[in-house]
Chain A
Amino acid sequence: MTEESRIACAIVGSGNIGTDLMYKLGRSPHLSVGLMVGIDESSDGLRLAGEAGIDTTHEGVEVLLERGDEFPIVFEATSAWVHRQNAPKYQAAGMKAIDLTPARLGPLVVPPVNLSDHLEATNVNLITCGGQATTPIVHAVAGVCDVPYAEIISTVASASAGPGTRQNIDEFTLTTSAALSEVGGADTGKAIMVLNPAEPPILMRNTVFCALGDGYDRDEVHDSILAMVDEVAQYVPGYRLRSDPVFDEDTFNTPGGDVKARVVALLEVEGAGDYLPTYAGNLDIMTASAVRVGEAIADVVREAK
């Protein structure tokens, strides 16, 4: 693909996520970052973007809106609150927004589950890092049996959770919970987030519990989970199971009803080490998903030209 056919995009937010995304988009044959927007002149992200030859501004999103017709695609890496302010402005300026905050304005997208359903949307939401890591597994199980209730626990290294995440932990749990049913296909869902300050920092860990409805087939559930892990690992190479899925038979009085069995998938995500070190798999899975979604939307934009 030639340089000219790459679709120009902007990143709003120069924190951990925005900066990691900048590195990944730098390798994309479909997208090129033309502008990085921050609010803090001294932020590490703006400095690194400048060094990479990308236009930067610390004067906020108005600068981007003035140049809206240059950027058909904008990645939002700020906070849910900020995205709620920005989203109508992007739409008015004709930009398609890929939202990496838990704002949930557009449809929730997880690449291996429903990407192709939402390519025409003006705003898509990437849920949360925990959502990207766990909804595919719930979807894999719900594809082969009833899942009356799904529950996930995402544990990330304290060092990898920026102020946006820390001050809005409820948004993480609520948005992720919604995705377990809306995207994953469980009847009900619950998400839990834990921060672990251990040094050296731990890899991102995700545990998925799925209540199994009567008539499930253990081999089918097992194989479906493994196939999905392979699919996610295609774009997040450090995504893997810690052990074979664990099946427990017992009576579990879940919010989705009583069941006689559950499956537990224990996952870890090792990051690519683009911006933060490899422990920050939570950044990696979010930004890798964003690139995947961005590239698919870039194809649509290119065809429409």
Chain B
Amino acid sequence: MAISTAPRFRLTDSTLRDGSHAVAHQFTEDQVRRVVRALDAANVPVIEVSHGDGIGGSSFNYGFIRTDEMRLIRAATEEATRAKIAVLMVPGIGTKEDLRKAADAGATVARIAIHCTEADIAQQHIALAEELGMESVGFLMMASMISPEHLAGQAQLLDSYGAGTVYVVDSAGAMTIDDARRRVSAVKSAVSCQVGIHAHNNLSLAVANSLAALEEGVDQIDGCATGLGAGAGNCPTEILIAACEKSGITTGVDPLLIMDAAEDTVRPIHPNHGIIDRDGLLLGYAGVYSSFLLHAKRAAERYGVDTKQIILELGERRVVGGQEDMIIDVAMELQRRAADAQVSQS
């Protein structure tokens, strides 16, 4: 064992938030308690718990949550002995009232998520986080859609609002290693606050992109145990930690205990997760918001159209996170096109 030094980055495990997408927001309180215990035992410093689309996300559009999320957050804070509990909040979906309730339930990190071009919407919520004594994070989603320079400008706004950290979020899992590197580097040199990366694995690059981001000086990295998360999944926490330790990067997280947490506690929740199938790959390829995946599959089944066509059309239309309703719109259009094709054939 190497002489212990300070961790090179701070890990946030989002299994209980991004993973909520993968289980259609059906986590039970018992699952939350067991996952938090296992992650906490492995010394994960921050654990995020929320509806996949953030607190207040329970809806027709994003899926109704099975257990009241404030109950889940409270349960997580009760189980954590060392870890801080974080929540995600998307302005326009959740409200300041939701953030107040989350703070009451014991959450101490507020991650305010906005589309990468709309940083100014987060100003009020970052200020509220501070007022509530929470650590604030500005979370710039779909960062693959804009240039590194444009992204850096938006990160500067968040920095000026007082965000403690700004995240480069590859919601579509669409970044190549170079894409990730250039965005993190541009943001890092534009802000005085910390910088984080949140990667999805649709192109099988989540760990590689996180390690490249680390070379560019990133301060925080997100992972999910077993990669449980939207689309083909997130950066698998246990693999990230193992790869870091082998590279001589101190993480502060116990590699064997985080493997146990992933294998014994998280994998049984969703044993088939983690395969990058065509639909998951297409999200990364077409640059589509990873959370659309299960909704697109469901719409394909419900309306008798093809998931692949839905994803490609969503990419064409450049829809952003939160526009899950467009999946129904696209499915209706595909139905019409199919009907028209049939008429012209007969």
Residues of A in contact with B (beta carbons under 8 Å apart): 151, 153, 155, 158, 163, 166-170, 172-174, 190, 192-198, 205, 207, 209, 211, 242-243, 246, 248, 252-255, 262, 264, 266
10 additional A-B pairs beyond A194-B323, A254-B60, beta carbons within 8 Å, are A151-B60, A153-B61, A170-B91, A170-B95, A196-B115, A196-B323, A207-B328, A207-B329, A211-B60, A255-B58
Q: Which residues of B line the A interface, CB within 8 A?
A: 58-61, 64, 66, 91-93, 95-97, 115, 117-118, 120-121, 123-124, 302, 317-320, 322-326, 328-329, 332-333, 336
Q: What is the distance, in angstroms, from A242's C-beta to the closest C-beta of chain B?
A: 6
Within the assembled complex, what's the spacing in Å between the Cα atoms of A5 and B97? 48
Q: How far is the CA of A18 from the CA of B10 in the complex (A)?
A: 48
Residues of A within 8 Å of B117, CB to CB, are: 158, 197
Give 23 A-B contacts (CB < 8 Å), ordered by A residue. Answer: A151-B60, A151-B61, A153-B322, A155-B322, A167-B120, A167-B121, A167-B124, A168-B124, A169-B124, A172-B92, A190-B59, A195-B118, A195-B121, A196-B319, A198-B320, A209-B60, A209-B61, A242-B332, A246-B328, A248-B302, A252-B60, A264-B328, A266-B332
Chain A residues near B333: list those with CB within 8 A. Answer: 243
**Nearest CB in chain B: distance from A188 CB, A:** 12
Q: Kindly report which residue of chain A lies nearest to residue B66, judged by CB atoms.
A: A253
Check B329 against A170 for contact (C-beta < 8 Å).
no
B50 to A: closest C-beta gap in Å:
16
Number of A-B contacts (CB under 8 A): 98
**A166→B336 CA distance, assembly (Å):** 36
Q: Which residues of B contact A173 (CB under 8 A)?
A: 92-93, 95
Contacts of B124 in A (CB 8 A): 167-170
In the bound assembly, the distance between CA atoms of A52 and B325 in angstroms comes to 41
Q: When chains A and B are docked, how far (Å) is the Cα of A252 from the Cα of B63?
A: 9
**Assembled-state Cα–Cα distance A264/B118 (Å):** 28
Roughly how many angstroms separate A266 CA and B320 CA in the complex, as a whole number?
A: 17
| B320 A207 Cβ-Cβ under 8 A | no
Top-4 shortest CB links A-B: A207-B325, A194-B322, A209-B60, A197-B117
**A246 contacts across to B, CB distance below 8 A:** 328, 332
Which chain B residues lie closer than 8 Å to A254 at the CB level? 60, 64
Closest CB-CB distance, B232 to chain A, in whole Å? 24
B92/A195 in contact, CB under 8 A? yes
Report chain A residues within 8 Å CB of B318. Answer: 196, 198
Which of chain B's residues has its CB closest to A172's CB? B92
CA distance A262 to B61 in the complex (A): 12
Which residues does chain B contribute within 8 Å of A266, judged by CB atoms?
Answer: 325, 328-329, 332
Minimum CB distance partner of B91 in chain A? A169
In the complex, are the beta carbons of A194 and B92 less than 8 A apart?
A: yes
**Minimum CB distance partner of A250 in chain B:** B302
- Closest residue of chain A to B325 (Cβ to Cβ) is A207
Contact B93 A196 (CB under 8 A): no
Tell me the smallest distance from the CB of A193 to a CB of chain B, in Å. Answer: 4
Taking a contact as CB atoms closer than 8 A, the residue among B95, B97, B320 that contacts A194 in the complex is B320
**Least CB separation from A193: chain B residue:** B92
Cβ-defined partner of A207 (8 Å) among B61, B93, B118, B302: B61
Inter-chain contacts of A242 with B (CB < 8 A): 329, 332
Q: Which of B66, B123, B326 has the most CB of A within 10 A?
A: B326
Q: CA A207 – CA B323 in complex, angstroms?
A: 10
The answer to whether A197 and B118 have CB atoms under 8 Å apart is: yes
The residue of chain B having its C-beta at the shortest distance from the C-beta of A209 within the complex is B60
Give every chain A residue within 8 A of B97 (Cβ-Cβ). Answer: 170
**Chain A residues in 8 Å Cβ range of B336:** 243
A197 touches B332 (CB 8 A): no
Nearest Cβ on chain A to B162's Cβ, whole angstroms: 15
Q: Which residue from B58, B60, B123, B317 sits with its C-beta under 8 Å from A262?
A: B60
From residue B118, how far is it (CB to closest CB) to chain A in Å?
A: 5
In angstroms, Cα B59 to Cα A167, docked, is 24
Residues of A within 8 A of B121 (CB): 166-167, 169, 195
Contact B61 A192, beta carbon cutoff 8 Å:
yes
The complex places the Cα of A198 from the Cα of B61 at a distance, in Å, of 21
Q: Which residue of A lies closest to B322 (CB)?
A: A194
Shortest distance from the beta carbon of A130 to any chain B beta carbon, whole Å: 11
Complex Cα gap A252–B326 (Å): 19
Given A153-B325, A195-B115, A264-B328, A166 and B95 touching (CB < 8 A)? no
- Write out the residue numbers on chain A whose beta carbons fall within 8 Å of the beta carbon of B61: 151, 153, 192, 207, 209
- State in angstroms the CA–CA spacing of A169 and B97 once bound together: 13
Distance in angstroms between the alpha carbons of A262 and B317 in the assembled complex:
26
Q: Which residues of B contact A170 (CB under 8 A)?
A: 91, 95-97, 124
B257 to chain A, nearest CB (A): 36
How distant is the Cα of A196 from the Cα of B118 in the complex, in angstroms? 9
Residue of chain B at shortest CB distance from A195: B118
Query: When the two chains form their complex, are residues B123 and A192 in contact, meaning their CB atoms are under 8 A apart?
Result: no
> Which residues of B have CB within 8 Å of A168?
124
Q: Across the interface, which residues of B come within 8 angstroms of A207, CB to CB?
A: 61, 325, 328-329
Interface pair B115/A197, CB less than 8 Å apart: yes
Residues of A within 8 A of B328 (CB): 207, 246, 264, 266
Residues of B within 8 A of A198 (CB): 317-318, 320
Give Cα A209 to B328, complex, Å.
Answer: 11
When C-beta atoms are compared, the residue in chain A nearest to B303 turns out to be A246
